[in-house]
Chains A and B, each alone.
Chain A
């Protein structure tokens, strides 16, 4: 199949459909509107359902109902809307309902801006709602990867019976790149006898009023999370073998760091990049391994935030090497030249 030029938001939407998603509930918010718009056009043609909900709150609860009924279901939003969804996400995690949630992050806090940001990292990876739970969080660095991870997200959600998040940003949503969306994708088939489809006595629920019972549930969830950490952690490395300076960045920011690394290498500075693809589970092993190498002098975390992922980088590095930070916020994008200059100052 030939590559086509896709806008990120539309690529994510079509990838979801090719992965068997037939239900989409959402609410308009910039910069992800192309997703609900695409679904509104496309779902009726594949026998699926698109419904514009009255709010993000309602949308995520529709996802709960549909996911609890065994359907492959998705919702998408951007930061302020994802804040509204947190209640439902906590319930979905607690009730162990599979679904996919897309967050094309914009600047915050509050109404913030509509420009790209990465300031929802804490919310996405540390449990934005209440309770001891996690989402698997995928952070695509380009449109092809957004396609691949969206399709994988539905499998991961079904496999582990849990909500999975695609954490993009306004740039991923709005930019166009060539990508290939397979039309012969075979979704994994899991046992969904737990789903409410009528005629049974099944209960989708997150209420365990007896503390010992809830503790047992939480410990079981933790076992699941441990298994996910072991099996599903993903990352990419760029020129790290001989690197003295290791960048840590994800999503579009990692691409900007690659440009900066190319500039640094041209100047003889040995720089490389570790790019987490799953933000949860966080890939601490490659950071720990790099921190243990004598040749590695420093780490530099670059984010479109005031410094969120850096906390996980520091935990992984374990105090063995210095971890510096460069960030832009509010919808400002770090430019390769600025990152390059900052990296030079760090290495001086």
Chain B
């Protein structure tokens, strides 16, 4: 099993964290992983994206151009990265913030209103975790349990109180794409 993923959005949406959580979870499941962020002069509010690879085989190039999946959290990211999905690949669109449809018909597209769902579960800042829940449910590349373990590790004891709402967010994301 192998996922070569691009996650994109604007700074502050937690797209780099989404990638890190997947890499952590993959590593803890004994898979080969890599995480490569875009980096630029912007500190906040600019665009951000990362390449994440989770694979049963050793990772060669850590940068992803032909993505098995792309997650876009804002409109400019859809415009930039829709073309990077391989035919038959997966595109996850944050339909809370993106009001247009994808143009391609050779890929699987899911529209998930992650900001709205996050607000419903009780914390608007969990939008990225909602999206991660959807992605993990669709691909099975790692288990939701490992994602939560990775999140707990990232949060540390000081933010343990945020775990329940994030757990709900992850599950809500999965439910949103359930067949």
Residues of A within 8 A of B (CB): 3, 5, 30-31, 114-115, 170-171, 174-178, 252, 255-256, 258-259, 262, 333, 335-337
Contacts and interface: CB of A to CB of B under 8 A. Distances in A.
Given A175-B34, A175-B35, A176-B34, 9 more contacts: A5-B33, A31-B39, A178-B27, A252-B61, A252-B62, A255-B60, A333-B63, A335-B61, A336-B61
Contact of A335 (B23, B36, B65): B65
A73 B71 CA distance: 43
B66 interface: yes
A176 B35 contact: yes
A5 B20 contact: yes
Nearest to A333: B63
A113 to B, nearest CB: 10
A3 B65 CA distance: 27
B61 A258 contact: yes
Contact of A258 (B24, B27, B35, B60): B60
B125 to A, nearest CB: 23
B11 interface: no
Contact of B27 (A3, A114, A171, A335): A3
Contacts, number: 62
A262 B60 contact: yes
Interface residues of B, number: 19
Nearest to B34: A177
Interface of B: 20, 23-24, 27, 33-37, 39-41, 59-63, 65-66
9 contacts: A5-B33, A31-B39, A114-B40, A114-B41, A174-B37, A255-B61, A256-B63, A258-B60, A337-B66
Contacts of B36: 171, 174-176
Q: Which of A3, A178, A333, A335 has the most B CB atoms < 10 Å from its CB?
A: A178
B39 A114 contact: yes
Contacts of A3: 27
Given A5-B23, A178-B27, A337 B33 contact: no
A29 B61 CA distance: 26
B23 A174 contact: no
Contacts of A256: 60-61, 63
B20 to A, nearest CB: 7
A177 B58 CA distance: 11
A170 B65 CA distance: 18
Contacts of B41: 30, 114
Contacts of A259: 60-61
Contact of B63 (A30, A114, A335): A335
Contacts of B37: 174-175
Nearest to A262: B60
Given A31-B39, A114-B41, A177-B34, A5 B63 contact: no
B45 to A, nearest CB: 18
B35 to A, nearest CB: 4
A114 B27 CA distance: 29
A179 to B, nearest CB: 10
Contacts of B66: 336-337
Contacts of A114: 39-41
Contacts of A115: 39
A176 B23 CA distance: 8
Given A114-B39, A170-B39, A175-B34, A5 B27 contact: yes
